[in-house]
Every structure is written in C-alpha cells, then in structure tokens.
Amino acid sequence: MSIVNAKEIMIEAAKGKYAVGAFNITDLIQMEAVIDAAIEKKAPLIIQTSVKPSKFLGTDVLVAIYRTIAQSAPIPICLHLDHCTDVDYCKKCADSGYTNIMIDASKQSYEENIRQTKEVVDYCHSVGDISVEGELGTVSGVEDQIKVAEDEAALANPVQAVEFVERTGLDIFAPAIGTAHGVYKTKNPKVDFERLGKINKLLNGNGIKTPLVVHGGTGLPEDYIQKLIEMGGAKFNVSPELKHTLIDSTYEYIVAHRDEYDPGKVDAAVRDAIRKAVGHWIDMLGSAGKA
C-alpha cells in the first residue's frame, strides 16, 4: 500500500470529500518530518520536490530514500515532481522512480501545452504506474494574485479544461482559479470557487476520473480550504509555509542555544516544528485517519 501514485489516493479523497496534503521539501530532514506527521495522523501523503532541490539532492538519492521509507510505512505515500517545465527532466524523474510528475507547460500556447503535456503523459504511462499532473491558466505569484484573479483570460476556462484533459490523457488536473504561490498579502485573497466547482462537475460529474489540484495552499484561510474541498479540490500544495518553518525554527533554536554545537539537536527542533505544521494541515484537509 505504501508506494502509490497521486491519482489513486486523490480519487479516494475526492470520493470522501477530503484532500491530500502535498508538501514541498528541500532536504531529507523535511522528508522525514512530513512522513512522521502523516504516519502520526494516519493520513495519505504526497511529498513534492520542485526541480531545484531534486537536482541538488539528485533524483537517485531522493528516490532511494523515499522508497526505503515508504515501503515499510503504514500509510500510502507518493513522490511528486512539482512544476517542471522541462519535458526531458520529467522523463528522467519518471525513470528514477517518482510516482507523480507535473509537467507545467502553462506558459506555452494552448496547443504547445497540450503537445508537451501529452508527451509526458504517454511516456509516464509507458514506463510505470506513474500519474501526471498538468496545468491550464496562470497560477501567479502573490504579487500578481489580485490582477490574475480578476483577469478572466488568466484563469482556466472550464470548457477548454475538459478538452485539455481529454486531448492530453492527464491523470490529475491543476486549473488556475486565482490561488497563488507565496504568502498571501491579504486576508481575503480573490479565489474563483465556482470555477473550480464547474470544472469538477464537467470532468467528474459522472464519477471521479480526473481529480483536481489546488496550488498556493500556504496562507489560504481555513474556510477557503473547506470550500475548495467541497468544490472538488483533492490535493493542496503547501510550500512556502514549510520553508518559513524550517528557517524560523533553525534560527530560534540557535539563538536560544548559542553555546551548543550539536547539529542533531538543531535537526530535531526543525523536524518537530515541521511535523507540527504538517499535522495542522492534515487536520484542516480532513485526511487524518484516511490512510
């Protein structure tokens, strides 16, 4: 049960009206912390790396550690490559043993997005039990969040979304609905809930085939999260929050123990802080006890 792709655990989530947390990590301590939290909460889990840490740590090392831990873990765990714009690197990670790949060709023209996404889908399906995530529309940085959220053309068009999924053979789908990467600068970010609901109805109205992903989880108000789950969000990406937790907990520990030179204790403090942050997310997403 332990090594899984994202689609299978997201279909269960969508059916059960909860969502799976997808947590970005940049090192192995964070990977352990995220896994510890999910085991503690008995929750299905998606670990994500963006391209940079995956290159820094090396896909083979990353996958070896993921597989070693996941094989014996009592929960299902997926290893996901987040926002990769390079088709060849997507294929390399699929070959290495990632179980979900996101090809992000959303900045390309619509036809080119389809072409690249389909190429990655076809490849991943040919080499293993690997699901693929694609994106349509613009998931902005928080600097542009309001501008993008108000620009109809930057968000995923529901009818086009259906065509995009059909033509690419995509497994899980990330439509731009106004959520953003970074830490929101307002308490009320503008998010198009109805758009997500409409896309979900068109794609999954007759049974869940293509579960939906919400990017930009960090800082979303809890009532937004609940509403997005109701509208079909089955995976929430959480990245900056864990980076902040890592840096803050490191800083706080070192300031409080300036005469100590024991790296293991710093690691333990970081692991504990990240475990708590992830546990809180799991509670908000309703995935506790679902593994």
Q: Which is nearer to Zn ion, 215 or 290 (CB)?
A: 215
With contacts defined by CB under 5 A, name the span among 14-22, 106-114, 236-244, 249-257 that binds Zn ion: 236-244
Q: Which is nearer to Zn ion, 204 or 218 (CB)?
A: 218
Alpha carbon 272 to its chain's center: 21
CB of 266 to Zn ion, least distance (A): 29
Alpha carbon 114 to its chain's center: 21
Q: Are 35 and 239 in contact (CB under 8 A)?
A: no
Catalytic residue from among 27, 36, 82, 151: 82
CB of 20 to Zn ion, least distance (A): 15
Q: Is 27 a catalytic residue?
A: no
With contacts defined by CB under 5 A, name the span among 62-70, 162-170, 210-218, 283-291 that binds Zn ion: 210-218
Helices assigned H by DSSP within 73-221: 87-96, 110-127, 145-150, 158-168, 193-204
Asked if 118 is part of the footprint of Zn ion (rule: CB under 5 A), the reply reads no
CB of 133 to Zn ion, least distance (A): 10
With contacts defined by CB under 5 A, name the span among 28-36, 233-241, 251-259, 279-287 that binds Zn ion: 233-241
- 100-103 and 212-214 strand pairing: unpaired
With contacts defined by CB under 5 A, name the span among 45-53, 91-99, 207-215, 265-273 that binds Zn ion: 207-215
CA-to-CA distance for 172 and 122, rounded, in angstroms?
14
Residue among 40, 72, 87 nearest 277 (CA): 40
Residue among 6, 7, 44, 11 nearest 207 (CA): 11
Q: Which is nearer to Zn ion, 80 or 215 (CB)?
A: 215
CA dihedral 144, 148, 151, 154 (to 10 degrees): 130
Beta bridge partners of 141: 181
Residue among 12, 28, 32 nearest 20 (CA): 12
CB of 104 to Zn ion, least distance (A): 8
Q: Give the residue nearest to Zn ion (CB).
A: 215
Asked if 215 is part of the footprint of Zn ion (rule: CB under 5 A), the reply reads yes
Asked if 290 is part of the footprint of Zn ion (rule: CB under 5 A), the reply reads no
Active site residues: 82
Q: State the residues that interact with Zn ion by CB under 5 A.
A: 215, 237
